[in-house]
Structure 1
Amino acid sequence: MPSLDRIWAGWRIPYIEASGAEEPPPGEGSLFERILALPDEEGMVVRRGRTCAALLNAYPYSNGHLMVLPNRAVAELEGLDDEEHAELWSLVRDGTAAIKAAYRPDGVNIGVNLGRGAGAGVPDHLHVHVLPRWAGDTNFMTSVAETRVLPEPLGDAWRKLRAAWPG
């Protein structure tokens, strides 16, 4: 009888248990506002600006997967004031440069999902995904097992991106 290999991904259980939940975990403010209230390393905040911040995605698609977002909960791009808009896109630019310097990827994906219908996991607080990509980085694990294999712990990615951030 053939053996069945198992991959342990215990860090995914909070995501699985929260799947389909209508309300975020208890606390003041949006999920991201609560994360931004934490110390940088605990919240995986790579960079803080006056009105926006960049942090690591706790459930990344690839190593170094950043999310850039306003400090306050804003659901739609048109809800940003001029200062937030300018700083958001400045941090996206700088985050892209940091990812390129830290990971030397073949490309970078940048995207925004506005609203639940567009796939937003946190629809009340817009965020821009910035993630490194490599030729051939989609593999059978994601395709057939809905599992991603990430060789680097989040803490290592956090230190690497902070060190590579421009300025």
Structure 2
Amino acid sequence: MTEHEEQDGVGVHDALQRLWTPHRLSYVRGEGKADGDQPEGCPFCRAPGLSDEKALILARGATVFALLNLYPYNPGHLMVLPYRHVPDYTDLDPAETVEFAEFTQKAMRVIRAVASPHGFNIGMNQGVVAGAGIAAHLHQHVVPRWGGDANFMPVIGHTKVLPQLLGETHALLSEAWRA
């Protein structure tokens, strides 16, 4: 085998450890991602019709609801959404705007009570060019942050290590939300 073949060869030992995450491949490929442009294809419109456990819904209000992000940045990463299929924050009516803000505040209180984060990232990506995965249905992210939670894994390994399963996070936060 030549030196060039050894460098490019399959199975050549390179001293790197591998963390395989094949369950993420469907997300990377966009498989099963519904067309959120229309309410009938929008996963956020379908979620309220499912059980709270199946949809990862933490709480339901009159005009908005909160659910865990299926692909979280950190444990406890949740979203606040209106039931209505609207794309922009300015599309909310006054009652939705108030409940949207109240749910965001409650989400922060609940996450603080359960997980003691050091801070939060809170935000909305308005439009595809701004990073919204499902731009047609408004959603606000509430992401708990801890000192040191951004380490080499996502930067170098393009892998996020989450120490808690979504079902466990759902149980903790939904119980605390009701308390």
Instruction: Give the TM-score normalised by the residue count of structure 1.
Output: 0.91
Is 1:123 matched with 2:135? yes
Aligned residue number for residue 5 of structure 1: 17
Structure 2 residue aligned with 1:162: 174
Which position in structure 1 is the counterpart of 2:147? 135
1:30-62 CA distances to partner (integer Å, 9 max, x unpaired)?
A: 220112221100000000111100000000000
Once the two structures are TM-superposed, the CA of residue 3 in structure 1 deviates from its matched residue by 3.7
How far residue 27 of structure 1 moved from its aligned partner, in angstroms, is 8.2
Q: Distance in 1 between matches of 2:26 and 2:114?
A: 28
Q: For 1:95 and 1:42, locate their aligned partners in 2 and report how far apart those are by CA, in whole Å.
A: 19
Q: 1:81 — aligned with what? A: 93
What letter is aligned with 2:126? L
- Point out where structure 2 has 5 or more consecutive residues left out of the alignment: 1-12
Q: Which runs of 5+ in 1 are unaligned?
A: none
1:87-128, Cα deviation, whole Å (9 max, x unpaired): 111100000101111110111111111001111111000111
Task: Give the Cα–Cα distance (whole angstroms) in 1 for the partners of residues 178 and 53 of structure 2.
Answer: 19
Measured after TM superposition, the shift of residue 23 of structure 1 is: 3.1
In the alignment of these two chains, the number of paired residues is: 166
Find out whether 1:44 has 2:56 as its counterpart: yes
Bigger shift: residues 1-10 or 63-72: 1-10
* Equivalent position to 1:61, from 73, 78, 89: 73
Q: How far apart are residue 29 of structure 1 and its match? A: 4.5
Change (3 A) 1:44 1:98: same
Residue identity matched to 2:118:
D
The structure having more radius of gyration, on CA atoms, is 2
Whole-angstrom distance in 2 between the partners of 1:153 and 1:22: 24
Aligned runs of 1:106-117 on 2, under 5 Å? 106-117=118-129
Please give the alpha-carbon distance, in whole angstroms, between the structure 2 residues aligned to 1:54 and 1:27.
18
Partner residue in 2 for 1:31:
43
Deviation at 1:157, TM superposition (A): 0.3
Identity rate, percent: 42
